[in-house]
Amino acid sequence: MGENILQKIAATKRAEVEAMKRILSLRTMEELAAADCRKGLSMKDSILSGSGIIAEHKRRSPSKGEINPMSEVSVIAETYAGGGASAMSVLTDTPYFGGSLTDLAVARKAAPSLPLLRKEFIVDEYQLLQAVLFGADAVLLIVAMLPAEDIWDLNESAHRLGLQTLVEIHSEEEIAAIPSDADMVGVNNRDLTSFVTDIENASRIIDSLPKGAVKIAESGIRTATDMVKLRDRGFDGFLIGEAFMSTENPGLTLRRFVEYEAETRLKK
């Protein structure tokens, strides 16, 4: 597809961060975050004790185009919380996904007891400080986007700020870059350099993941049957966006996924 899409996005993010630093300095952000007294929720514990579903709010994507451009984050957050989600993923990227930090703040207010993941292309600690200030409980770190040492540094900084980390890989070659104390490990079925999706990718990789890791399957999960198969394969959680957001009632669709798995377990 020509230019690596992920590196193009990374360059956009670095430019965005530098522009934001000129408006509000890193030191000011650090002071604001230090004064924040909110105690974060454990996304990891919620996944292990509940449905395991990280339900995503997504308006559009580079691969699918418009998905649900007029969606109201507050409504989606409330219905996800009521529908049985273990956590909610909020896309805050504007150029490629149509999200914003405001979406994160709105979701936090609408669903105060639901752990929130800031779904973003993190390249700088500044973005971790934003995550704290806008109400996130966890952040996504993408191994394919950064050198391993940067992933480790950002993982450490996130923990220092009270954030949990979901470290995402796509291939076995990237496993070595996973920090030993990452809270969760995600396997993306979508190759972020081409945006091609292969739902079997997660199943091929799971046996090579660190023992004891909280394992999350991401992307390409279109049906409740897909989710149950991945659960049987050993995954603890599932990041699902388009399968919910492309329907008229994302929260109801989520509820049907939860109910389907419960019914399937009863039959076994």
Known catalytic residues?
56, 58, 119, 168, 188, 218-219
Q: What is the distance, to the nearest Å, from the Cα of residue 245 to the centroid of all Cα atoms in its chain?
A: 15
DSSP E strands, 92-227 = 116-119, 138-142, 164-169, 184-188, 190-191, 196-197, 215-218
Q: How many residues are given for the chain?
A: 268
Q: Which of 105, 135, 116, 132 is nearest to 47 (CA)?
A: 116
Q: Are 220 and 196 in contact (CB under 8 A)?
A: no
What is the 3-state composition of the chain as percent helix, strand, coil, each rounded to the nearest 5?
50, 15, 35
CA distance from start to end of the chain: 44
Tokens of residue 154, six digits: 């950002």
Chain-centre distance of CA 126, in angstroms? 18
